[in-house]
């Protein structure tokens, strides 16, 4: 049915949803659309829609508007596709939330020293892991809890720039336009999109786990709320080892396996005898497989959003720094000793935890660097980062960089970490 929508526009299509149905919407790459709830109750990935208000969904995004009891939804603007689906796993996700919340309430009861649930979503790529994490955080926030959203996914993480692992509390339902509020994120820089240095990745996950424990000791509400952890889609070989390591380091007690029976079986065997429960969750038919090209575009958008804001509302500061004013370091990948220098029979290896100074060069152009909280070279392995800068120019003659920083003024530290994160900027 076509009509004039809540925004007064005439390119509006209305959809009536029966109970437990969802409207799946894929926006065009080039432009977004607006979604409005006209009647009933509905939510997008656990975030409730307010009646009569429209929410902007950016270009290239894929969302589902779900209703437990029935709703009428209007879409304003052209979309790639919008269709109603009757079969969704949303009720099972809501049941999972009920189990987790019961544990939160027990842990939050007066005099209790019990831990709240620490949940981890695992599964292959494109099964809806990040989506389930958002749904669980939203449901928890709607019931007055503030779980920590932990993102261990380097390539398609939801919190800050790619190439990092991070955590942020979700104390209100996630804003559909602006994402998870990041007032106090805890971010560790890995510096790449895939794990080629498992030892260092494990090291920062362990650090994150220790900080989770400290937070939970210091604050009863945080202890009771627990955490919801998103993981990478790498589930074989070393990928599985990294998942099991994260499970232990973050003291996860509920693992939700989405969309793969084999992984479910493997984890059940590996975690037998621990106090961790493994659950199988159905994959939603709405989850869309993303091409490499789409994933690259999503990463570029995340870099852009970091510097310019989700709706382009921020104005990053362009600043300069002389090479002599900053110290650059790279973690891992120390040089191999030449075979001739090694005893017979030994193979050369790199030191995964080596901190190597980086000499400024034009190869840093278009790099995203992390501003470390570490004050000295020795601190770097254990320090989280304050934020990121983007190198827009390297002047080898004047020995200075020009960079974008989210805010003007001096950087919080002059110790910068270099990885392999490149972004071609707005012209891309
Ligand atoms: N029910 C649904 N209807 C429509 N789109 C959906 C639905 N559930 C998830 N999606 C979309 O499918 C895409 C993939 O989902 P998601 O990012 O949660 O998967 P993932 O398993 O975390 O992927 P990866 O391992 O690559 O990080 C996202 O764009 C998400 O918005």
CA angle 159/165/169 to nearest 5° reads 50
Widest distance between CA atoms in the chain: 80
Same fold, 12-85 and 92-281: no
Which residue has the CA at smallest separation from atom 6 of ligand 1?
Answer: 287
Tallying the residues shown for the chain, one arrives at: 428
Q: 65 C-alpha vs ligand 1 centroid, how far in Å?
A: 13
Q: Annotated binding site for ATP: which residue ranges?
A: 22, 62, 126-131
* Residue 396 Cβ contacting ligand 1 at under 6 Å: no
* Residue-wise pLDDT tens digits, 46-105: 999 999 899 999 888 999 999 999 999 999 999 999 999 999 999 999 999 999 999 999
Q: Model's pTM, two decimal places? A: 0.92
* Residue 80 Cβ contacting ligand 1 at under 6 Å: no
* Residue-wise pLDDT tens digits, 280-306: 999 999 998 888 998 898 899 899 999
Q: What is the CATH number of domain 92-281?
A: 3.40.50.300
> What is the C-alpha to C-alpha distance for residues 201 and 267, in angstroms, rounded to an integer?
21
ipTM (interface pTM) = 0.98
* CATH architecture of residue range(s) 12-85: Sandwich (2.60)
Domain edges within the chain: 12-85, 92-281, 301-334+352-422
Which residue has the CA at smallest separation from atom 10 of ligand 1?
Answer: 287
How distant is the alpha carbon of residue 156 from its chain centre?
A: 7
Q: 277 C-alpha vs ligand 1 centroid, how far in Å?
A: 24
Q: 64 C-alpha vs ligand 1 centroid, how far in Å?
A: 10
**What's the DSSP call for residue 14?**
E
> What is the C-alpha to C-alpha distance for residues 115 and 215, in angstroms, rounded to an integer?
12
Helix (H, G, I), strand (E, B) or coil at 425: coil
Question: What are the Cα distances from residue 131, in Å, to 44, 142, 228, 275, 284?
Answer: 10, 16, 11, 26, 10
Q: What is the CATH number of domain 301-334+352-422?
A: 2.40.30.330
Q: Give the mean pLDDT of 183-199.
A: 91
Does residue 368 contact residue 362 with C-beta atoms inside 8 Å? no
Mutate to test the pocket of ligand 1, among 91, 123, 130 (most ligand atoms within 8 A of CB): 130
């Amino acid at each position: 049915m076509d009509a004039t929508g809540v925004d007064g526009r005439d390119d509006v299509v209305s959809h009536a949803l029966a109970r437990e149905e969802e409207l799946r919407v894929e926006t065009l790459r080039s432009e977004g659309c607006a979604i409005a709830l006209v009647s009933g109750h509905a939510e997008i990935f656990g975030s409730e829609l307010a009646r009569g208000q429209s929410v902007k969904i950016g270009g290239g995004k894929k969302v589902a508007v779900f209703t437990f009891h029935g709703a009428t939804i209007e879409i304003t603007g052209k979309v790639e596709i919008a269709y109603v689906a009757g079969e969704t796993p949303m009720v099972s996700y809501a049941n999972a939330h009920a189990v987790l919340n019961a544990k939160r309430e027990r842990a939050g009861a007066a005099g209790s020293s019990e831990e709240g649930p620490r949940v981890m979503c695992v599964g292959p790529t494109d099964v809806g892991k990040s989506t389930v994490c958002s749904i669980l955080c939203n449901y928890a926030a709607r019931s007055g809890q503030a779980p920590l959203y932990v993102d261990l996914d380097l390539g398609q993480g939801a919190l800050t720039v790619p190439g990092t692992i991070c955590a942020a509390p979700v104390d209100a339902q996630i804003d559909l336009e602006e994402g998870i509020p990041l007032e106090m994120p805890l971010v560790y820089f890995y510096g790449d999109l895939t794990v080629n240095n498992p030892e260092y990745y494990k090291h920062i996950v362990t650090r994150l786990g220790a900080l989770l424990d400290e937070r939970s000791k210091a604050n009863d509400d945080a202890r009771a709320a627990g955490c919801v952890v998103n993981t990478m889609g790498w589930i074989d070989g070393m990928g599985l080892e990294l998942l099991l390591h994260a499970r232990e380091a973050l003291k996860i007690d509920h693992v939700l396996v989405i969309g793969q029976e084999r992984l479910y079986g493997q984890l059940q065997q590996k975690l037998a005898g621990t106090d961790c429960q493994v659950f199988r969750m159905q994959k939603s038919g709405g989850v869309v497989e993303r091409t490499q090209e789409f994933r690259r575009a999503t990463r570029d958008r995340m870099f852009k959003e970091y510097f310019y804001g989700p709706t382009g509302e921020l104005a990053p500061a362009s600043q300069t720094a002389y090479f002599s004013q900053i110290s650059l370091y790279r973690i891992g990948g120390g040089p191999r000793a030449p075979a001739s220098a090694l005893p017979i029979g030994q193979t050369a290896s790199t030191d995964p935890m080596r901190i190597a100074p980086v000499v400024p060069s034009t190869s840093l152009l278009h790099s995203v660097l992390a501003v470390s909280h570490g004050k000295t070279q020795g601190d770097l392995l254990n320090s989280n980062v304050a934020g990121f800068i983007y190198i827009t120019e390297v002047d080898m003659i004047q020995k200075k960089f020009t960079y974008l920083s989210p805010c003007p003024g001096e950087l919080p530290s002059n110790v910068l970490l270099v990885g392999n994160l490149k972004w071609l900027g707005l012209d891309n």
